[in-house]
Each structure stands twice: as structure tokens, then as C-alpha cells.
Amino acid sequence: MAGSSSPSPKPSRHEQRFNERRQEYQDYLPLTERLEEQLRGDVEELMAQEGWDAETRNGVEEWLRDRDNVWRALRRYRYDENKAHALLLSDLAERVNRQLHKPIPLTDLTNSPLFFVLPLPRFVDRLGRPVVVLTLSEVARDENGSLDDVKEWTWWALEKLRRTVHDWWTKGAWSDGGARARKARGYGGEGCVVLVNAAGAGYRNLEVELLPTLLSVGHNHFPGIIEAVYVVNAKWTHRSMWTVVKQVMPRTALDKFAFLDDSSALKEVFDLERLPTAYGGRHPWAFGTAENAILLHYAHQPLPVPKPPSPSPISSPSAVETPSDPSHASPARTASYTSIADVYYSAQNSPGQSRQASRRGTEPINYRHKPPPDNDNNAVAPAKPLSL
């Protein structure tokens, strides 16, 4: 028929899941904002009790204003407010202990191709998500046969990733290859993807001792920031190793993994013109420390003095609507449900009895469509073997 337009193409399964995640963020935004306010009160108490210096206070404030991070903690526990609150307090204690608010340290590991973000905005997947490369052949023990340096590096690698993802989606940074903030490009809760390069990797690179640390730190302190993991350049030997590795991985992590074995599988996720040849694409870019602008920025740039968060996120072009159910309104705080002393100070291995407990608390928000029960039995405790 003249003048008729062809129907819009059906979104891919990757795009559909991505849009569902954005909708989920909008649905639970009132709960996210309420928990964010709860944490703000906790932080005020802790600042007064601990006497943090200006750098620590600024770093904690920046972390607190990462609203997507609060939402991901809620999503990690299927929107159980109590569990998410405990997770975030435990995470805060680890961040202060490890001084993750400082510039990213420049070491042989952080400045290597072991784990790095491909240059933005040149390289993203088809959904605009940053791409992180994990090079398995770079995993190795030190001269003493220890993986302690690599385990410590895990925290800084994921913290650099958190800052990059936050700046990319929320601040519109890296639009021209630089970190200057521009118009935000995200609608709420977006993350990144990891590209595992298996080329040249053998059994020695798949350290059984390292994997639980990576999973535990990511799952318990940076939950949900990695939305998908794609393995490229895998051979039959890597697949046989995978049957062993996946035995120590939680189901929630396994669901994110996929092997991209040919160009058709790669094309579903990436524009091959915007993917380096080393990973199956057609772009000639190769890793070089001089080009690692993202690392160099976060290694020399202190965390900015945070501004108050915007009252609401950007409206989605697909007209995402926040449910009109009045139960989504944010009620006033009521009785306490979590003690700062029990969570924050126990994470620091300090006696909780000597600290003042929080009197802050909230009532749960009743949603019309509750998520299914949480089947994830991983503990909130700091990283331990076999616990993203």
C-alpha cells in the first residue's frame, strides 16, 4: 500500500533484555531512592564517629551518589531492602579499608592488557555498552608463586570499571575520547560487557585460586555492573577447561556467559567495524599503554566533589513509565531494621558493641509485581574462596 511504512524490526534478544533491565530500574526507582536516603543518614553518622579526612569523605559521597550502584545492590537481592542495605554497608567498610576512593594506582598489573576498557567511544557493543577485555594469557603468579598481587588488583580493576561505567552512562563522559562530562546517555542501571580473550591461554592461566576471588569481589561488592561475558578465540581445549571452571561458579554468573565462536555470533553483539581484529573484528587497533586514556585519567584524577543527584533519571525514548501504584511512594523512615554497628564495623573486624547503633529504618514498599524469591545463596561477607 502506498504511503505505508514497513514494521519496525523485532529487537534482538540482547536488546530485549537490555530494555527490560531499564524498565526494571524505572519500576524500582522509588525503592532505590529510599535506600539511597537511608544510606545518606548512615554515612552522616559514620562521618561523625570515624572522623574521616576530606579525601575519604569526598570518596564516600561520590560512591553514595552512584544511584545505579544502589539499584544494583537491590537487584542483587531481588529487592530485599534489608539485605541490600547490609550489602552496601559491608561494601562501604571495604572501600574505606582499602582506600578505593583514591586515584587508581599505576602498577604492572593495572597498566597491562590483563583487564582494561577498550577506548571510548570508539569501541562499544551494539547496545552502546563499554567493552572490558580480560586477557587470560596475562594471568600468572609472581616470582614467589603467589597470586596475592593479582587478588589485590581485582578490587582496583573493578573500581576503575565502576567509575568508567558511571561516567559513561550518567555523565556522558568519553563522548570525544576525553573525560569531560556531557549530556547523559543512560536511562538508569546500565552496565558493561566483558570480552574474555582466550587466545594463547593454557591451564596455568586458569588459576582455581583466583577465580573464586574474582567472582566473590564482583558479586558482593560490584554486583550487576557486568551485564554479559563473551568468550572469544576459544579452542576445544578451553571448552574442556570450561567444564571444570563452571563447577565453581554460581548460577547467576553462568547465565551471563556465552561463547562467540564465529563471525555470525559476534555480529549479534558487536559491529565488526568497531571491534579490534584481535577479538574477531575488523578494526586494526591494538593494546598499547600510551593509548590507555581511561586508566591514565583515573590514575591521576581524584574523585570529583559530588553534586546533588538529579531528582529523576532521563526519560527513555521508548516512553518508559514509572508505575502509578501509590505503594511506590517513598514513606517516612520508621523503626530500625539494620544496625550500622552490626554490619559496618563487623566488616572492619572491629567490636560492634563499642559503636553506636543506627536508629534509622524503613518500612518495605509493597509492589504489585514482586520478584521471585532469591535463589542466590552467596554470602555478603568479604571475598572467600568459592563464593558476579
Q: In this predicted structure, what is the pLDDT of residue 330?
A: 38
Q: Does the structure show a pLDDT above 50 at 369?
A: no
Judgement on whether residues 154 and 193 belong to the same structural domain of the protein: yes
DSSP states along 60-126: HHHHHT-HHHHHHHHHHTTT-HHHHHHHHHHHHHHHHHHTTTSPPP--TTTTSTTEEEPPTTT-B-T
Inter-CA distances, 148 with 209, 226, 377, Å: 10, 23, 26
Q: What is the mean pLDDT of the chain?
A: 79
- pLDDT category at 146 given cuts 50, 70, 90 is confident
Q: In this predicted structure, what is the pLDDT of residue 292?
A: 84
Three-class secondary structure of residue 19 per DSSP: helix
Q: Is residue 36 part of a domain?
A: yes
Q: In this predicted structure, what is the pLDDT of residue 60?
A: 95
Q: In this predicted structure, what is the pLDDT of residue 11?
A: 81
Judgement on whether residues 147 and 278 belong to the same structural domain of the protein: yes
Q: What CATH number does residue 160 fall under?
A: 3.40.525.10
Q: Does the structure show a pLDDT above 80 at 91?
A: yes
Q: In this predicted structure, what is the pLDDT of residue 308?
A: 55
Judgement on whether residues 97 and 165 belong to the same structural domain of the protein: no
Residue 196 and residue 194: Cα distance in Å, rounded? 6
Q: Does the structure show a pLDDT above 90 at 248?
A: no
Q: In this predicted structure, what is the pLDDT of residue 209?
A: 59
Q: Does the structure show a pLDDT above 80 at 343?
A: no
Write the burial class of residue 189 (CB in 10 Å: 0-12 exposed, 13-18 middle, 19+ buried): buried
- pLDDT category at 207 given cuts 50, 70, 90 is low
Q: What is the pLDDT of residues 93-105, one digit of tens each?
A: 999 999 999 999 9
Judgement on whether residues 95 and 133 belong to the same structural domain of the protein: no
Q: Which of 148, 64, 51, 81 is nearest to 109 (CA)?
A: 148
Pairing outcome for strands 257-259 and 226-232:
parallel
Q: Does the structure show a pLDDT above 50 at 153?
A: yes
Q: Does the structure show a pLDDT above 50 at 360?
A: no
Whether this prediction's pTM lies above 0.85 is answered by no
Judgement on whether residues 188 and 244 belong to the same structural domain of the protein: yes
Q: Is residue 7 part of a domain?
A: no
Q: Which of 326, 114, 131, 330 is nearest to 201 (CA)?
A: 114
Q: Is residue 159 part of a domain?
A: yes
Q: What is the pLDDT of residues 294-340, one digit of tens each?
A: 998 999 877 665 555 554 444 443 333 333 333 333 333 433 434 56
Q: Does the structure show a pLDDT above 60 at 17?
A: yes
Q: Is residue 199 part of a domain?
A: yes
Q: What is the pLDDT of residues 105-129, one digit of tens each?
A: 998 888 889 999 999 999 999 999 9
Judgement on whether residues 244 and 215 belong to the same structural domain of the protein: yes
In this structure, of 14-23, 135-144, 223-232, 360-369, the range with the lowest mean pLDDT score is 360-369
Q: In this predicted structure, what is the pLDDT of residue 294?
A: 92
Q: Which of 215, 174, 171 is nearest to 62 (CA)?
A: 171
Cell numbers given for 41: 543518614
| Dihedral sign for Cα atoms in the order 79, 83, 89, 94 | negative
Judgement on whether residues 97 and 126 belong to the same structural domain of the protein: no
Q: Is residue 378 part of a domain?
A: no
- pLDDT category at 212 given cuts 50, 70, 90 is low
Q: Is residue 386 part of a domain?
A: no
Mean pLDDT along residues 267-282: 97
Judgement on whether residues 85 and 184 belong to the same structural domain of the protein: no
Residue 51 and residue 47: Cα distance in Å, rounded? 6
Q: How many Cβ atoms sit within 10 Å of the Cβ of residue 77?
A: 19
Q: What is the pLDDT of residues 158-202, one digit of tens each?
A: 999 999 999 999 999 998 767 777 788 988 899 999 999 988 887
Judgement on whether residues 146 and 242 belong to the same structural domain of the protein: yes
Highest mean pLDDT among 202-211, 345-354, 373-382: 202-211
Tell me the residue range of the domain where 84 lies: 13-102+323-354
Residue 336 and residue 341: Cα distance in Å, rounded? 12
Judgement on whether residues 38 and 159 belong to the same structural domain of the protein: no
Residue 265 and residue 258: Cα distance in Å, rounded? 10
Judgement on whether residues 123 and 271 belong to the same structural domain of the protein: yes
Q: Which residues contact 36 (CB under 8 A, 6 or more apart)?
A: 64, 67, 70, 309
Judgement on whether residues 168 and 287 belong to the same structural domain of the protein: yes
- Structurally, the chain folds into a number of domains equal to 2
Q: Is residue 235 part of a domain?
A: yes
Q: What is the pLDDT of residues 60-87, one digit of tens each?
A: 999 999 999 999 999 999 999 999 999 9
Looking at per-residue pLDDT, the higher value among 350 and 181 belongs to: 181
Q: In this predicted structure, what is the pLDDT of residue 213?
A: 74
How many residues would you count in the chain?
388
Q: Is residue 95 part of a domain?
A: yes
**CB of 362 within 8 A of CB of 81?**
yes
Q: How many Cβ atoms sit within 10 Å of the Cβ of residue 386?
A: 14
